[in-house]
Structure formats: structure tokens, C-alpha cells
Structure 1
Amino acid sequence: MNQNEAEYWITHLGLEPHPEGGFFKRSFESKEEISEKARKLYTSIYFLLRAGDVSHFHRLQSDELWYFHAGSSMSVHIIHENGHYEEAKLGLNAEKGEVPQVLVPKHSVFGSSLSEDKSFSLVGCMVAPGFEYEDFELFTQKELLTDYPQHEAVIKKIAYETIPHFK
């Protein structure tokens, strides 16, 4: 597995840069909608991080299920609502504590990075009800350190210093 393999998946799956970091493409969404707002029942994306990429700390208003597909294992860094930090290892090496699926509970602050910063990781993420940017919050290091100073090391690794402007 190498950087060329990451580019292979980016090209062949049609992945685009994601505001939180990494690359993504919506792969599936329900045909059913819920609520008067015509919200999708669920959405699913492919998500890819290359060596050196991180998915910056953010929060969703729904649970998100992560599924491992290919490449190196990925660490999903979760700060739960109660302030407890958890590093879930998404991958296929059970002897190293990896699991092929990870649940990120709604309202948790979370981001991800490669467990071993050597190639890439391709995963899938499903949100129910379906993902909407209005339910998505990105955080700066300063914001998170105010609430979670005990997690300074991971916050400085995963959170934006300043949130960039996106199209």
C-alpha cells in the first residue's frame, strides 16, 4: 500500500476534498425522506485519508457508523459528551485491537488520522438521518481546549488552529 494506491481510489471512486480534511464522495442515500424538510433517511460516503492528512475535530447531530474498506488502519478520535476521550482503531487486525466498524455517537466531537502514517485508509461512513451540512460543526484548537484541556495533545494534533474558508 502506498500513496499511488490512494490516488487510484481517489480517481476511480471520484473522491473530492472534504472540508474536515481527506477526500469523500456520497456513495448511497435513501430514496425515502423523513420530516417536512425532505431529509434523507440515511446517507453514506466513501472517505479517504492519505499519509499526513487528518479529519479535523467536528461534531454531528446524528450517530455515524464507520466501516473499514482498504489500506492502513485508521484511528477515530472521539471526545464523548461527558468529556471522556476514546481512540477507536478502525481496521482488520483484531490482534492489535482493530475493529472493522466503529460507532461515533451523536453530539461527540471526533476526527481521524492514520494509525500508522505510511499510506492511506479508505473507509465508509453512514449517517442516519442523512447528513446535512447544517448539522456539521468544525472546531478550533482554542475552542476545544477551553472545554477539554485534559486532551491537549490530541486536540493540537487533530483540530484546526484556524478554520479555513471553504467554497
Structure 2
Amino acid sequence: MTKTTASFWIQELLLQPHAEGGYFRETGHSPELIVTEDRLERYLYSNILFLLTADNPSHFHRLKSDEVWYFHEGSTLTIHLLHPDGRYEAVRMGRHPENGELFQFTVPKGVIFGSSIEGQSGDFALVSCMVSPGFDYRDFELLPYDVLLKYYPDCGNVLEKLAYKKLPRDCFRNEQV
């Protein structure tokens, strides 16, 4: 069996760079719309394919919706969660449940999270994510290092790795966590 690479999957699945890091492509959404608590219309759910590499992690961000992750291929992935109560949690996803790795995990709405591949350059993980209510960039916020450090001072190591020091252009900066 030929070993697949991140480049293979990026090309094969027509993935594009994502502002939070990694590569993605929306694969669909529900035909139904719902009205959220803040009176905005959203799809009932939306789906993406998402690929991360050891060199291109998912930086800390927050959604107003739950996000369910499904592991498909590649190296073990760690989802790093910063809970509103100040607690840090790491959840490992992969193909080895005997090592505590999960095939599926739900990130609760309002929890700040990022994801990384612990490995060598070239290592990757391919997952799909389902967001409900459906993803909308108006419900997405990237959170920079300096803001996160104020609220999570004991998480300096993971913040160094997964928090942007300077947010990409055109991204919303939130001063409050």
C-alpha cells in the first residue's frame, strides 16, 4: 500500500488554506435553515473536510456552535481546549483506541480550541468536522496570544504553539475571553 501524503490529500480533495491554519473544503450543509438565539439564520448543520500538518496546526479560535470531529487518516491529532472556567484539556484523536485515542469528539460551543499533530515535518491528520448550527464566519473568532495569556496564564507552552502572535489580515480580534 502506498503511503499517502498531505500534498496528495490537499490536491485530491481540493482543499484550500484556512485562516485558522490547515486546509479545508466545505462538503455540504443541511437544506433546512434555523433561527439562532441571536435571531440569525443558519443552516441546521454544515460539514467540512479538514487537514492539519505538523507544520500547519489549527490556531486557537472559538465558535458559537458545537463542532463534531471525525478522524479519518494520518497521524494522531490533539485537540487543545481552553474552557471558560480556565481549565485546559487535551483530547487525542487517531486510530489507536487502546491508547486513548478517539475516532470522534465534540468540541462544545464557546470553548476556545486549536489542534496540532505531534510529529515530524510531513506528518498530517485528515478529519471531517460537522458544525451545528451550521458554520458561519460571523460566529468564528480567532484569539491572539496576548489576549489568551491574560486569561490562561498557566497555558504558556500550548499558547506559544497554537496562538497567533499577530492575527492574519481581515480576522476579528477579540479583546475579551
Superposition TM-score, scaled by structure 2 size: 0.88
Shift of 1:105: 0.8
* Cα-to-partner distance string for 1:116-162 (whole Å, 9 max, x where unaligned): 34511000111000000011010111000011101111111100000
Structure 2 partner of 1:89: 92
Contact kept, 8 Å, 2:62 with 2:140, in 1: the verdict is yes
User: In structure 2, how many angstroms separate the alpha carbons of the residues matched to 1:116 and 1:97?
Assistant: 17
Is 2:172 aligned against 1:163? no
Structure 1 partner of 2:174: none
Shift of 1:51: 2.6
Structure 1 partner of 2:63: 60
Structure 2 partner of 1:12: 12
User: In structure 2, how many angstroms separate the alpha carbons of the residues matched to 1:138 and 1:18?
Assistant: 12
Correspondences of 1:1-167 after superposition (within 5 Å) = 5-35=5-35, 37-118=40-121, 119-166=123-170
User: In structure 2, how many angstroms separate the alpha carbons of the residues matched to 1:43 and 1:117?
Assistant: 31
User: In structure 2, how many angstroms separate the alpha carbons of the residues matched to 1:33 and 1:44?
Assistant: 15
The AA in structure 1 aligned to 2:160 is K
SS in structure 2 opposite 1:81?
A: coil
Contact kept, 8 Å, 1:89 with 1:115, in 2: the verdict is no
User: In structure 2, how many angstroms separate the alpha carbons of the residues matched to 1:38 and 1:96?
Assistant: 41
Contact kept, 8 Å, 1:19 with 1:166, in 2: the verdict is no
Shift of 1:37: 4.4
Task: Provide the aligned C-alpha RMSD in A.
Answer: 1.7
* Cα-to-partner distance string for 1:23-82 (whole Å, 9 max, x where unaligned): 000112101111274421100100001231110000001111101010111000001111
- The answer for unaligned runs of 5 or more in structure 2 is 172-177
Runs (4+) of structure 1 moved beyond 4 Å? none
SS in structure 2 opposite 1:134?
A: helix
Contact kept, 8 Å, 2:54 with 2:118, in 1: the verdict is no
Give the paired residue count.
166
